A and B are shown apart, each in its own frame.
Chain A
Amino acid sequence: MSIETTPDVVAKTPRERSFGRRRKIGRFALPTYSWLVIAYLVFPIAIMIVYSFNRIIGGLQLVSFSWNGFTTLWYQQWSNVPGLTAAFWLSIRLALVSTVIATVLGTFLAIALVRYRSNKFRGKVAVEQILFLNIAAPEIVMGASLLGLFVTLNIGRGFVTLVLAHVMFSIAYVTVTVRARLAGFDRSLEEAAYDLGANPLATFRLVTLPLIMPGVLAGALMAFALSIDDFVTSNFVSGSSDPFPVWVYGATRVGIPPQVFVFGTFIFMVGIGFAFMSIVLSRKKT
């Protein structure tokens, strides 16, 4: 393997040597493509945001997809549709409660799965299969089965049943996310803590938890997103009050009020906020 050098390029590796000019074009292809994909994903959201500023003329106050002029009226009257506002807050409360529970349960399960091999943790393989099944199972099957459970046991459907359902489908995602983070975790730090006299609880609180916190937060974020967007399962197990997606689905028959787009824009902005926070945090981490 001979190493050539050309005057205008310094320290070329064999890889770089092989491609030369083609590589320069190739360098732009992937990023361009990726941003195009992100644009495609954001496209309907952009339309939603634009039409949340659309005026509505005559008749019922329903979203009109023909442009009638700019207005911020719907942002001022954001709480004018009583059922919708209640549904939105219900979804927020539901997402917060189920996220907290799912994150705690999922984190503990992740620790158990990573730390202990099968001989010390009987049934570990079964648990992993169940987790995969939970993630992969079609939502309609989970929703229908929960409905069957609640009907059989004569449990009235409401906020509690919604929380039960949402935690159920979130745990697996939290576990998987935390476990990914835990797998690369350096146990020597914990060993050091033990050596310095810490008991397991303190070790967990002061050493382990802060180090896996990014993974836990990522899992929590995942659980929150899943809960606030969930439609199918919620449709099956919600009682007299509907979460936000179920309300919107019901309203699509006659037409959705523009406040739906206002709430959607708000949720999207919160998500963008998380994205930018992650940049800030990752800069700090170096």
Chain B
Amino acid sequence: MAANDEGSNDGIIDPSFFRGLTQRRLSRRQALTAGAGLASSLFLATRAGASLPNVGVGTKSWWARQKLHHDVNFANWPYYIDVLKGKHPSLDHFTAATRIKVNYQEVIQDNASFYAKIRPSLEAGQATGYDIMVMTNNNPELGYLIELGWLIPLDHAKTPNFNKYAGPLVTNPPFDPKNKYTMAWQSGWTSVGYNSKLVKNPGDSVDILFDKKYAGKVGMFSDPFELGSVGLLALGIEPATSTESDWAKAAKKLQLQKSDGIVASYYDQSYIQHLKNGDIVVSQCYSGDIFQANLNSKYEDLTLMVPKEGLMIWTDNMVIPLHAANPLDALTCMDYFYSPLTQSVVEYYNDYICPVPEAKQQLLHPKGWNAAALKALKPEIGLPTTVTADSLVVFPSAARIKASHPYYPFKNQEEITAWTNLFLPIIQGA
């Protein structure tokens, strides 16, 4: 995998992360005063000895003490799990098999706003109310959670399905070595989507996003991490190893794209509405959105491009926040979703990148409870399971995965700030 292995680093973002926070803003004079000392201690840890709040939590002995409470609060993104007439077959089977009730809430609309909601509780050392949350790795919030010690480390002795069935894409990811805190829910690609009826010769390059032919009808993402990454790709630069001067070059290109009037607007996930409406004809897109749109015959013309520059690959990860009320139930639930039978049902609905390669076989030849569920879902989804099983965006080849680009791994807050300072003015600039 074209991963950015930091090698001996514990994590991508190391503890000097937060020391860096104060240095950029304070002047030298201020840094010498007592105030700076106060500031840095506030960021590093107000807890004694600079230890993180999750010390002692998540160890083998800690997990051994946990008991099942038969309840789990699962926060996820919308339209990310199988649904049949208002119920979720995968969750229903889980409850039937384990007697654990799942309170599934689709409350996550984006990483930043969800993080803003849970942060006050975590700051105050209180429970967030969620046992499982799903955070994406291409926004800083997952990194904040890990570095601030607000996640419970997982005990993989209790995740047999994960150990056996998790695919290479989601095992030992660079942003969370050895899956200490995360288990992927789904992965996905950020690529280019276009309306094949209105875009006659799309070609196979991200340059189509910068093509003056489609001026005023191009959609770009308002997420600065997505925007900057595609800018780097368009310049032929590998995002994961790019430098700040590379970022400046990408920013220049994107600014030019904007001032040439090519961009209609910078969208969040609502780009898919405008692509469907015809307000835009080509856009940055998420792989699963196009697949889901194609299920409606009216939007069959929407096509996902696999550019020669490659696709950006991201992962939505299940994590257990600190002070969760039902950690063992959470871990059990998370592992349940690594059973190929479960994934086949979820994937049939989802059509993002499946973390369990063996689910492909289960889609084609279901060998258990999933057979009935898949059959029941078919009329809702309208396509046979073979379409999902054979889809290269759901079960990509190893080569395709290797050719995918991970996002730049930020080493500290200064780098994050430098990146956003370059790309935010393009998005929200006049």
Contact = CB atoms under 8 A, between A and B. Distances in A.
Direct A–B contact present (CB less than 8 angstroms): yes
Interface of A: 57-60, 65-66, 80, 83, 150-151, 154-157, 239-240, 242, 250-255
B129 A254 contact: no
Instruction: Across the A-B interface, give the 3 residue pairs with the lowest CB-CB distance, nearest first.
Output: A58-B296, A59-B296, A250-B109
A49 B299 CA distance: 25
B272 A254 contact: yes
10 contacts: A58-B298, A59-B296, A80-B86, A150-B120, A154-B120, A154-B123, A156-B121, A251-B109, A252-B270, A254-B78
Contact of B107 (A65, A80, A240): A240
Nearest to A155: B120
A215 B78 CA distance: 44
Contacts of A253: 109-110, 268-270
B78 A59 contact: no
B296 A255 contact: no
A239 B118 CA distance: 8
Interface string B106-121: 1101100100010011
A240 to B, nearest CB: 6
A240 B272 contact: no
Contact of A156 (B105, B120, B299): B120
A52 B269 CA distance: 23
B9 interface: no
A3 to B, nearest CB: 64
B292 interface: yes
Contacts of A151: 120
A57 B382 CA distance: 11
Interface of A is mostly: loop
Contact of A157 (B79, B110, B120): B120
A239 B117 contact: yes
Interface of B: 78-79, 86, 105-107, 109-110, 113, 117, 120-121, 123-124, 126, 128-129, 268-270, 272-273, 277, 292-293, 295-299, 382
A8 to B, nearest CB: 60
Contacts of A254: 78-79, 269-270, 272
B117 A83 contact: no
A241 to B, nearest CB: 9
Contact of B297 (A58, A65, A250): A58
B273 A255 contact: yes
A66 B299 CA distance: 13
A157 B119 CA distance: 11
A209 B124 CA distance: 46
Nearest to B130: A240
B280 to A, nearest CB: 15
B126 A156 contact: yes
B86 A59 contact: no
B148 to A, nearest CB: 16
Contacts of A251: 78, 109
A84 B117 CA distance: 18
A60 to B, nearest CB: 6
B129 A83 contact: no
Given A58-B295, A60-B79, A255-B270, 17 more contacts: A57-B296, A59-B292, A59-B296, A65-B277, A80-B86, A83-B107, A151-B120, A154-B120, A154-B124, A156-B120, A156-B121, A156-B126, A240-B117, A250-B113, A253-B110, A253-B268, A253-B270
Contact of A59 (B105, B109, B293): B293
